[in-house]
A and B are shown apart, each in its own frame.
Chain A
Amino acid sequence: GENVEQHPSTLSVQEGDSAVIKCTYSDSASNYFPWYKQELGKRPQLIIDIRSNVGEKKDQRIAVTLNKTAKHFSLHITETQPEDSAVYFCAASKSTGTASKLTFGTGTRLQVTL
């Protein structure tokens, strides 16, 4: 089955700096790659996603890049703010008909310091 590896497990940056989180996946058939943000004690929430027919996607301070050949994708957060502090999960999924199994990475705890 699919295996998603995520690095780093913890990341500390100063406010205003950029943060980069990287993930690799094993199943070349995976075609959907969402990123979720989970604040302490709360539910995961989608922040951005990308499909395999796109190499890059941007939404304000957040961007995701996908390299299908290397089977890795990355989350980039620019101009970090204290409210960006949370755990970020990458995930990979392939859909076969109505079946869909979203496999998550192990998470990155991002700490934005003042």
Chain B
Amino acid sequence: DSGVTQTPKHLITATGQRVTLRCSPRSGDLSVYWYQQSLDQGLQFLIQYYNGEERAKGNILERFSAQQFPDLHSELNLSSLELGDSALYFCASSNHGNTEAFFGQGTRLTVV
């Protein structure tokens, strides 16, 4: 167990819908990262938050947004969902930049 908790584990939704993925980082970690992993693909960096503020951005679609709350948990919002958004979404946390990032178990999103 990495100490990073993601909910839900599985999510099935229809095209055009909106979903929210939740992540609770390890105790004491201030940084939260979101990654997308499509089938048999690598890990695509989406966004990083540090202590509530956005710090780095990857190839995140405009339909996607995220935030980190005062209690340091983070949410990834995906809207106007398309079939191609089906993927495994990982959250990771670390104490600071350039240190080990601990991954959660992921949320498997299926858009039908």
Contact = CB atoms under 8 A, between A and B. Distances in A.
Contacts of A36: 103
B72 to A, nearest CB: 13
A100 B106 contact: no
Interface residues of A, number: 27
A32 B90 contact: no
Interface string B27-63: 0001101010000011111001011000110100000
B59 to A, nearest CB: 9
Nearest to A100: B97
Contacts, number: 71
Contact of A89 (B43, B94, B96): B43
Interface residues of B, number: 29
Nearest to A1: B58
Contacts of A107: 42
Nearest to A2: B45
Contact of B100 (A34, A95, A106): A34
Contacts of A96: 97
A95 B98 contact: yes
Contact of A99 (B48, B90, B101): B48
Contacts of B65: none
B86 interface: no
A100 B42 contact: no
B98 A98 contact: no
Interface of A: 31-32, 34, 36, 42-46, 49, 51, 89, 93-107
Given A44-B103, A100-B94, 9 more contacts: A32-B99, A34-B101, A45-B2, A95-B97, A98-B96, A99-B97, A101-B45, A101-B48, A104-B35
